[in-house]
Structure formats: C-alpha cells, structure tokens
C-alpha cells in the first residue's frame, strides 16, 4: 500500500484549545483596555505567542515596555494552562481519535505540526501522545506559519517527501504554510475562511468513510 505523511495541527484540529487561547487573549487585551473580538482571534490561529501579542497591541494602538510584554505573556500562558488542566480524552475533537487509530492500523506515518509550545503536555494529557511518530511544535521551529518550516521538519522526521504529505489545519496561516510546502492542505472549519485549502470539512466526522483511501491517491494541484 502507498504511504503518505499525515500531519496534524493541534489547536483547533485535534482538540478545541482554540477557545482557551481566545479567552486568555481576551482577558489580556481587556487588561490593556483593548477591545478584542472573535474576528481578530481568527487571525491569531496558528500564530506564535509573541507574534499574537504584537498583533493585539498593534490593533489596539498600544505600546508596552519589554518587561511588561514578557510578564503579560507569562500571565496569558498561565491562564491558558489552567484551562488546559481541565482537558480529558473527551475533549478530542469529533472523529479525530478514530481517524488516528485507523491511520496507525494501516501503517501510515503520523506527525504533529503545531505552533504551540504546549503541544507535548497537551497530547499527553489527552492520552494520544504515542499515536504520533513525530512531533514538531513551537519549541522546534524558528519560523512561524505561513512559513512551511514546521511541516517540512515533520516530513524530515518521518522520512517522507513534502509532495507526499497531507496537512490538516484550522488556520489560514497553517493552510498557507502547507500550500507553501507543496503539501495537500485539508481545512477544518469554515470554508469561507479556509478557501485556500485543497478541501474543507467542518469536522473529521463529515469526511466520507473511505476518505483515507481517497487521500492516499490524491495529488497536489
Ligand atoms: P502556545 P496550532 C497555535 O497552535 C494556536 O493556534 C495559536 O492560537 C497559539 O497562539 C499558538 O499555537 C502558540 O501556542 O501559546 O501554546 O505556545 O494551531 O499551530 O496547533
Ligand atoms: Mg490550529
């Protein structure tokens, strides 16, 4: 059977931690008198922690000194991690666990490609760490999505060429990163937002029953 590299984003694809990021960023923005809505939050998906705060400050027309910047980020991450503590296996997004198990039983290489520096502890908390053959997260890369570094590194670890990779992403930046690497991009979320993806589903449960087999034959346009 042919093989592909199946690469999963974390936040918003494997688990709905995107809502925790939103709450924590909103609290941080409010503490600086900045109005922060879900529309802006959409643009932070897949974006690193530092870059996210830079964007929020720019939207609010605010500047803060370097020490405040660092302490705000520490605070944000602590609040985020408190919410992450509440996660259990039931928080894995619908259909993902089954999809991963099926890939494993058919011997397909699986990687995680996330901008998050918290990816490893989150996967352990969810009890699915061992389902991944390779993990590349925010601690392993220097360039943020839409730069393809995270997905290219994942392919290298899996020893698979980029043109044989399929990336599952919920963010615009992540879809662009996959496209920039010449990989097949599958969007999870709103088709209007993710129109640059090769295909979009609202969730893994919406995919046809034989979708893994279809993906094995799919060629990047
Ligand atoms: P952390 P992903 C991204 O993860 C999130 O989408 C983004 O909202 C977050 O700011 C970024 O990780 C950094 O996360 O603060 O945990 O290092 O979607 O690429 O899995
Ligand atoms: Mg994401």
The model's pLDDT over 123-173, given as tens digits with 9 standing for 90+, comes to 999 999 999 999 999 999 999 899 999 999 999 999 999 999 999 999 999
pLDDT number for residue 1 = 65
pTM of the model: 0.93
The upper half-sphere exposure of residue 155, i.e. CA atoms within 13 Å in the direction of its Cβ, equals 20
HEC-encoded secondary structure of the chain: CCCCEEEECCECCCECCHHHHHHHHHHHHHHCCCCCCHHHHHCCCCCCHHHHHHHHHHHHCCCCCHHHHHHHHHHHHHHHHHHHCCCCHHHECCCHHHHHHHHHHCCCCEEEECCCCCHHHHHHHHCCHHHCCEEECCCCCCCCCCCCHHHHHHHHHHCCCHHHEEEEECCHHHHHHHHHCCCEEEEECCCCCCCCCCEEECCHHHCCCCHHHHHHHCCCC
Residue 10 CA: which ligand is closest?
1
Active site residue 130: no
Region 70-89 average pLDDT: 97
As a whole number of angstroms, the distance between CA 20 and CA 29 comes to 14
Q: Which two tokens stand for residue 138?
A: 């925010």
- Please return the burial class of 9, using the count of CB atoms within 10 Å of its CB with bins 0-12, 13-18 and 19+: buried
The yes-or-no verdict on residue 106 having pLDDT over 80 is yes
pLDDT number for residue 72 = 98
Share of the chain above pLDDT 70, in %: 100
Beta carbon of 49 within 6 Å of any ligand 1 atom:
yes
As a whole number of angstroms, the distance between CA 94 and CA 115 comes to 22
Beta carbon of 148 within 6 Å of any ligand 1 atom:
no
Cα 137 to ligand 1 centroid, rounded to whole Å: 9
CA pseudo-torsion sign 142, 127, 10, 98: positive
Name the pLDDT band for 110 (thresholds 50, 70, 90): very high
Cα 213 to ligand 2 centroid, rounded to whole Å: 24
The yes-or-no verdict on residue 221 having pLDDT over 80 is no
The model's pLDDT over 36-79, given as tens digits with 9 standing for 90+, comes to 999 999 899 889 999 999 999 999 999 999 999 999 999 999 99
Beta carbon of 116 within 6 Å of any ligand 1 atom:
yes
Residue nearest atom 13 in ligand 1 by C-alpha distance: 116
Residue nearest atom 5 in ligand 1 by C-alpha distance: 46
């Amino acid at each position: 059977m042919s093989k592909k590299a199946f690469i999963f984003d974390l936040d918003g694809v494997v688990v709905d931690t995107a809502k925790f990021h939103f709450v924590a960023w909103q609290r941080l923005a409010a503490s600086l008198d900045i109005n922060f809505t879900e529309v802006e939050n959409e643009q932070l998906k897949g974006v690193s922690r530092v870059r996210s705060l830079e964007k929020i400050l720019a939207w609010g027309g605010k500047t803060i000194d370097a020490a405040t910047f660092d302490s705000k980020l520490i605070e944000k991450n602590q609040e985020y991690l408190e919410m992450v503590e509440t996660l259990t296996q039931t928080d894995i997004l619908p259909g993902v666990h089954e999809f991963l198990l099926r890939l494993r039983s058919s011997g397909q290489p699986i990687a995680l490609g996330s901008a998050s520096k918290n990816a490893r502890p989150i996967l352990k908390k969810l009890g699915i760490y061992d389902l991944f053959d390779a993990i590349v997260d925010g601690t392993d890369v220097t360039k943020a999505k839409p730069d393809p570094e995270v997905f290219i590194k994942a392919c290298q670890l899996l020893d698979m060429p980029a043109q044989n990779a399929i990336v599952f992403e919920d963010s615009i930046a992540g879809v662009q990163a996959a496209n920039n690497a010449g990989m097949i991009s599958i969007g999870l979320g709103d088709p209007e937002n993710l129109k640059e993806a090769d295909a979009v589903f609202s969730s893994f449960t919406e995919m046809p029953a034989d979708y893994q087999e279809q993906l094995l034959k799919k060629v990047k346009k």
